[in-house]
């Protein structure tokens, strides 16, 4: 992998990740951009203890541009985008409209491919491996920034999810705090260890493998399953079999197998609702140990993938119970979801 760091016209950092060392990355950004001005603020909810990012400058961000005006495509003669080069493998750059900025963290965009009409599931294993390398490299770099407490790599796919740019891409948030969801996991982890002396993640993984009904894929180094208490209609958790706290700690064997397993799961997601259905909208989220967490080696890196589509043409909306009380109601039994994900396998 070749890594080339440069700057956009407004001073934001941009990094090319290339498969070949000989790739020329000398193109510069000629756009007359003003320096980025952000108004990000973190406020604490006194009742729940949650942190809320207030980011009024995001009201003016790019919203559903036509394909020929996509800011994530490579630059072409007469049309300059966020990527100065006329092609790329993987690119990461600072978000022009960040939710978190300055002392309040950092937001980055990850472009998976220059092909506007592709998706992550269309990548080759080599391309997916390069994205994994980029996620890992950025996790390492962002974890070293002053004040960063947690690094979150994720992808939103589909208009139903709220995506405003159709080009295949993800994001990385470097939070200045431990997120509420991760804090709850850490609390459960500590309580389970105090009660049993064992690791909660290890026990969950062992239970799913022993039960078998919710398994989707069981590889040599990774296992994918629908969780026992899935919140979403179709939800898959992907764990390395050797527990590690973050992407940096994955060994070579796990890194090699990941693209095979992950691409297969994504391709099954696109087959859940039949060949005539639109591509399945989803959120794919890496869960990593907070940077400075005590006993962070007890945390288990894993990826959670889910869709808000529950049946062709119907979405799972967060209604009163979910949005008002955070109590989820799932219309699709996890065992039925796992059955369907096994039925639509693209490999034996």
DSSP letters spanning 54-68: E-GGGGGS--S--GG
Classify residue 278: in a domain, yes or no: yes
Structure tokens that stand for 207 in this block: 């239970």
Query: What Rg, from alpha-carbon coordinates, does the chain have?
Result: 20
Domain match, 207 and 253 both: yes
Torsion angle of C-alpha atoms 204, 207, 209, 214, degrees rounded to 10: -90
Q: Residues near 87 by Cβ (< 8 Å), separated by ≥ 6? A: 74, 114
User: CA 125, CA 132: separation in Å to the nearest integer?
Assistant: 10
pTM score above 0.85: yes
Does the pLDDT of residue 348 top 80, yes or no? Answer: no
Instruction: Select from 45, 152, 59 the least CA-distant residue to 105.
Output: 152
User: CA 345, CA 348: separation in Å to the nearest integer?
Assistant: 7
Percent of the chain with pLDDT over 70: 97
Q: What is the pLDDT of residue 279?
A: 93
Q: Domain ends where: 155, 177, 199?
A: 177
Domain match, 119 and 260 both: no
Classify residue 337: in a domain, yes or no: yes
Percent of the chain with pLDDT over 90: 86
Burial class (CB in 10 A: 0-12, 13-18, 19+), 70: middle
Q: What is the pLDDT of residue 117?
A: 95
Q: What is the pLDDT of residue 26?
A: 94
Structure tokens that stand for 254 in this block: 């796990």
DSSP H or E stretch at residue 206 = helix 200-211
For 182: left if phi > 0, alpha if psi spans -120 to 50, otherwise beta; the answer is alpha
* Residue 205, domain extent: 181-343
Q: Domain ends where: 133, 154, 177?
A: 177
The phi, psi pair for 190, rounded to 5°, reads -65, -40
Domain match, 210 and 296 both: yes
Structure tokens that stand for 348 in this block: 């034996």
Which sign does the torsion angle of CA 287, 288, 290, 294 carry?
positive
Classify residue 348: in a domain, yes or no: no
Region 267-295: what's the mean pLDDT?
A: 94
Classify residue 68: in a domain, yes or no: yes
> Does the annotation count 169 as an active-site position?
yes
Asked if 245 and 139 count as a contact pair (C-beta separation under 8 A), the reply is no
Domain match, 211 and 281 both: yes
User: CA 44, CA 46: separation in Å to the nearest integer?
Assistant: 6
Whose tokens are 């108004």? That residue is 39
Instruction: Select from 89, 88, 90 the least CA-distant residue to 27.
Output: 88
User: CA 165, CA 156: separation in Å to the nearest integer?
Assistant: 10
In DSSP terms, which residues pair with 14 in a beta bridge?
6, 93
Whose tokens are 């002053």? That residue is 146
User: CA 253, CA 151: separation in Å to the nearest integer?
Assistant: 23
Q: Which of 64, 116, 167, 169 is catalytic?
A: 169
| Domain count within the chain | 2
Q: What is the mean pLDDT of the chain?
A: 94
Lowest mean pLDDT among 20-24, 70-74, 220-224: 20-24
Q: What is the pLDDT of residue 275?
A: 86
pLDDT digits (tens, 9 = 90+) for 84-140: 999 999 999 999 999 998 889 999 999 999 999 999 999 999 999 999 999 999 999
Domain match, 125 and 153 both: yes
């Amino acid at each position: 992998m070749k890594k080339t760091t440069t700057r956009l016209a407004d001073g934001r950092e941009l990094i090319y990740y290339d498969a070949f060392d000989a790739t020329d990355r000398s193109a510069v950004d000629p756009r007359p951009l003003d320096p980025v001005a952000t108004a990000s603020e973190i406020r604490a909810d006194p009742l729940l203890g949650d942190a809320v990012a207030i980011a009024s400058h995001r009201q003016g961000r790019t919203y559903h541009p036509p394909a020929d005006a996509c800011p994530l495509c490579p630059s072409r003669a007469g049309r300059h985008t966020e990527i100065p080069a006329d092609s790329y493998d993987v690119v990461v750059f600072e978000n022009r409209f960040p939710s978190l900025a300055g002392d309040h963290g950092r937001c980055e965009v990850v472009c998976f491919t220059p092909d506007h009409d592709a998706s992550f599931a269309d990548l080759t294993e080599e391309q997916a491996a390069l994205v994994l390398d980029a996620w890992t490299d950025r996790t390492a770099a962002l974890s070293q920034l002053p004040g960063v407490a947690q690094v979150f790599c994720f992808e939103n796919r589909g208009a139903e999810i709220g995506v405003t740019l159709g080009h295949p891409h993800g994001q990385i948030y470097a939070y200045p705090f431990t997120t509420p969801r991760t804090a709850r996991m850490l609390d459960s982890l500590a309580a389970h260890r105090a009660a049993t002396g064992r690791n909660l993640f290890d026990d969950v993984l062992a239970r799913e493998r022993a039960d078998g009904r919710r398994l989707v894929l069981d590889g040599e180094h990774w296992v994918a399953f629908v969780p026992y208490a899935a919140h979403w209609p179709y939800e898959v958790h992907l764990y390395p079999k050797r527990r590690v706290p973050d992407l940096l700690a994955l060994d070579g064997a796990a890194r090699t197998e990941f693209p095979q397993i992950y691409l297969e799961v994504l391709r099954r997601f696109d087959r859940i609702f039949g060949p005539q259905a639109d591509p399945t909208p989803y959120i794919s989220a890496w869960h990593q140990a907070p940077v400075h967490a005590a006993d962070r080696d007890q945390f288990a890196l894993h990826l959670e993938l889910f869709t808000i589509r529950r049946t062709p043409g119907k979405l799972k909306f967060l209604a009163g119970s979910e949005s008002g009380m955070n109590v989820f109601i799932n219309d699709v039994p996890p065992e039925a979801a796992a059955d369907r994900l096994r039925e639509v396998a693209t490999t034996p």
